[in-house]
Structure 1
């Protein structure tokens, strides 16, 4: 009996993965076009257009730098870059998670007319905000020159950090997209949770400032691994935190599978919620 149940679970898991892969291939053009449309729509009524994707993280960095170094009189060499290494991925987080909460609900009009695999909608949000993240990375190069940072070959290891970052965000966005259909206030609640999450992450302060007795709690926060890894490859010329990143990668794959299974199970129920 146990052997039969295990075979059934494995078959369901394999069917889910196979179905997702086939849908991904089938709807790849829709994903590309929808992502392109979302990108254009976000800058359609703005004066600076795509330049805002550079200005937004830059302004946030300036505000936090002035607040910490001038108002609180804290001193840290290259603090602006230190903050930027956290703020840029953080902007990626906030936009992706916030938009994913409504990614299915906002497309109910289309979903009532034609079938679209639901995992495609949070994937679009992840790709759109990933594009903005890459655009924001352009600010790094003049900052590296201004603050006289020595780049090493470790900088290219940022690709692995970004990959794990994307997996974690996509897994989270799948889960949030599912529950966002059933809980109308989820997006508003997320705004407060995300804000608190940032202050509990080493974005404006270093881990050295956390008492050693409780520092292990910060390592339970995925942002610690990601922020520290970005800083290692950008600021300190060293490798990212491969072991914690690998663990986060496994957790992210678990989130992706859980999110896909929820979206697949409730696929036909979402339309009833509109």
Structure 2
């Protein structure tokens, strides 16, 4: 607990530094998903002639959730590697770095997610009792990302090329996570394989809750949280194992 203030301060400093870059600053957190939305909306509404209102909401939910994941994973993965200068000055448990990176992207997500809720309300979507489960979905996604990214962060200092692999794997994962399609409509022989992807299940749950007013799949949510605990425990074990080795490896 004594490192909580440090994590929060580092999160604040990272947000402030990122907002100061460029003339538009924080607006880029909103502009980027809107650019994706415009591109895919044009394709589905004008080229494939699908119903405009629902498909825009459908795409926007998927894109906002995906953008959070795609921003958090690389940032957390290189967080220990990027904290080498601070390591030289003072001892810190290495979990501080992925936590700070994850929280930085979490606060950016909250801004965009709030705008998403506003858009859905303005477009005629009525809030239901299912919306009360949104904090559970957000928490499940946060800890799932933290678990995966924590494992990567523990290994990246020894295998720097993983950063490039992560970047290149995001695009295939985009198409395997149901961002632009409904995984529940995939033919039966292939659907079970998509359900093995926790992110695809989470995106489907967000849409069920926000657009259809349905409760999320509790079994999938519980499985994601359980997997997140295992991943984060494994990440912490690796970080403790290499705790004193990281500064030596990273100064080379």
| Partner deviation per Cα, 1:63-115 (whole Å, 9 max, x = no partner) | 12112332344446511111111111211111111112211111111101210
CA contact (8 A) 1:95 1:129 kept: yes
| Higher gyration radius (CA) | 1
Aligned residue number for residue 171 of structure 2: 195
| Partner deviation per Cα, 1:226-256 (whole Å, 9 max, x = no partner) | 0111111110011111111001110010001
The separation in 1 between residues aligned to 2:155 and 2:186, in whole angstroms, is 34
Aligned counterparts, 1:108-257, within 5 A = 108-257=84-233
CA contact (8 A) 2:121 2:127 kept: no
Gaps of 5+ in 1: 1-24
Deviates more, 1:216-225 or 1:248-257: 216-225
3-state SS of the aligned residue for 2:189? coil
Aligned residue number for residue 24 of structure 2: 48
1:61 to 37, 47, 50: 37
| Partner deviation per Cα, 1:177-203 (whole Å, 9 max, x = no partner) | 011111111111111111101101111
The separation in 2 between residues aligned to 1:239 and 1:71, in whole angstroms, is 32
Q: Give RMSD over aligned pairs.
A: 1.5
The separation in 1 between residues aligned to 2:122 and 2:69, in whole angstroms, is 27
Aligned residue number for residue 85 of structure 1: 61
Gaps of 5+ in 2: none
3-state SS of the aligned residue for 2:243? coil
Aligned residue number for residue 27 of structure 1: 3
- Residue 147 of structure 1 deviates from its aligned partner by 2.5
CA contact (8 A) 1:161 1:226 kept: yes
3-state SS of the aligned residue for 2:145? helix
CA contact (8 A) 1:78 1:147 kept: no
- Residue 156 of structure 1 deviates from its aligned partner by 1.7
The separation in 2 between residues aligned to 1:79 and 1:117, in whole angstroms, is 45
TM-score, length basis structure 1: 0.87
CA contact (8 A) 1:151 1:234 kept: yes
CA contact (8 A) 1:101 1:181 kept: no
The separation in 1 between residues aligned to 2:65 and 2:40, in whole angstroms, is 15
- 1:76/1:246 CA distance change after superposition, 3 Å: farther
- Residue 146 of structure 1 deviates from its aligned partner by 3.9
The separation in 1 between residues aligned to 2:7 and 2:53, in whole angstroms, is 43
